[in-house]
Amino acid sequence: MSDILVVKLGGSTIADQAQVLGEVAVVARRRPVVLVHGGGRRITEWLERLGVPSTFEGGLRVTDAASLEVAAAVLRGVVNSELVAGLRDLGVDAVGLSGVDGGLLIAERIPAMGLVAHVVGLRRDLLDAVLVGGQVPVVAPLARDEHGFCRLRGAGSSDRGEIKRNLDASPWVLTRCQGVRTRWR
């Protein structure tokens, strides 16, 4: 599997991502795409809505058990499902995954950040199986480490880089940051 493009989307609402999803759909018809998403803004909204307090260290959320439960529900249940449905509405055969599914992403905890981790490896065979089947994997930033379930830092910052490196993929694209977008090749 070559010529893979790894795309990073922020976790804003599906309405905010409509144009980008349309571009992803066009590219996915020509070449393999792995879509990795974040969701920090959506997690914050849900934590506030549910009255779960947040703690930040150096600008990053320190994730405790209660925050992780909300983060997992939002990332895998809300954001991932919206993105998969949005791509499928555009005629793209997308499949939702998290780094936990099939042990896709292997993580290591970040000291003093609670249940937050960064990616140290991935199961390429699992992503290859999805890609060879003509599907677009949509990956939520959740994983397991030797101690259990964890959220990946920076709303997917480390997982997209690890996926890109392990797949020898084309440069990934940031779409959440104002004014930052690379045109597809």
C-alpha angle with apex 174: 160 to 119, nearest 5 degrees? 15
Instruction: Tell me what pLDDT residue 155 has.
Output: 43
pLDDT by residue, tens only, the chain of 185 residues: 558 888 888 766 566 778 889 999 999 999 999 998 888 889 999 999 999 998 888 877 888 999 999 999 999 999 999 999 999 999 999 999 999 999 999 888 888 888 888 888 889 999 999 999 999 999 999 998 888 888 886 544 555 566 767 666 665 554 544 443 444 44
Q: Are 23 and 184 in contact (CB under 8 A)?
A: yes
Nearest to 92 by CA among 2, 183, 11, 22: 22
Instruction: Tell me what pLDDT residue 118 has.
Output: 85
Instruction: Tell me what pLDDT residue 14 has.
Output: 65
The pTM of this model reads 0.85
Instruction: Tell me what pLDDT residue 183 has.
Output: 45
Distances (CA, A) of 95 to 113, 124, 133, 142, 146: 30, 16, 11, 16, 26
10 Å Cβ neighbour count for 118?
Answer: 21
